[in-house]
Amino acid sequence: MSVITIERKVLEKNDQIADRNRRVFAERGIFALNLVSSPGSGKTSILEKTFQGLRGEMKTAVIEGDVQTDLDAQRVTQYGVPVVQIVTLGGCHLEANLVQDALAKLDLTGIELLFIENVGNLVCPSNYDLGEAMKVVVLSTTEGDDKPLKYPAMIRNSRILLINKIDLIPYVSCDLNALRNNALQVNPDLKIFEISCVTGEGISDWCDWLRKKDCSEQ
């Protein structure tokens, strides 16, 4: 019982700060997305392809979360996108206060789109609101088609599913229809994009969706 009480207090404090972050986004007209996945699913590659697809149409910034190193942040900066790196030093997820601190280091003037690339983990990040408009979960075909059933909380708490690495379907044990159906079984309202960062398939549809969204979604 004491463990549950402590967890509840932690999440309540987190949610209070998340609400403050959300107000900042709303006041500035920033559409904030919390990008979540297991390690190696291709979150940073998706960001790179997204920057290429939008071609400067939207002023974008990134908050990078990682357990160690700033390697992903280095990749993002090559596209001229403002980025702040959060190194959790072993922490398995980002929390709202870390995002709040990162926002203080970003010039938010004119920013329309903010990606928060969370730590690679399909468990802990599902419980933490960062103030984002929505969570975007990335699953890769290399992980198999059963992940939505094994990690239902993440699927249930997300609004968008990006199925990445569809170019590898002929070479891996993944049934794309089963993956899609398993995800929709958990969350029937999930919007799904099937993409490949190698061939570029599906990236234009994803970018078209981003062009049509705004902070009113929060």
pLDDT tens figures, 38-74: 999 999 999 999 999 998 899 999 999 988 777 888 9
Residue 215 binned pLDDT confidence (cut-offs 50, 70, 90): very low
Q: How far apart are CA 146 and CA 58, in angstroms?
A: 35
Domain ranges of the chain: 2-217
Distances (CA, A) of 146 to 43, 161, 185, 211: 19, 14, 11, 31
pLDDT tens figures, 133-154: 999 999 999 999 999 999 999 9
Is residue 1 pLDDT above 60, yes or no?
A: no
* Amino acid identity at 186: V
Q: How far apart are CA 59 and CA 165, in angstroms?
A: 27
pTM for the full model? 0.92
Q: How far apart are CA 62 and CA 79, in angstroms?
A: 11
Taking residue 111's Cβ as centre, other Cβ atoms within 10 Å add up to 20
pLDDT of residue 6: 45
pLDDT tens figures, 175-211: 999 999 999 999 999 999 999 999 999 999 999 999 9
Q: How far apart are CA 132 and CA 121, in angstroms?
A: 17
pLDDT of residue 7: 53
pLDDT of residue 47: 97
- Residue for token pair 């094994």: 150
Per the CATH hierarchy, to which homologous superfamily does domain 2-217 belong? P-loop containing nucleotide triphosphate hydrolases (3.40.50.300)
Residue ranges of alpha helices (H) inside the chain are 2-28, 43-54, 71-77, 96-104, 147-150, 152-156, 176-186, 203-212
* Amino acid identity at 82: P
* Residue partners of 110: CB distance under 8 A and separation at least 6: 59
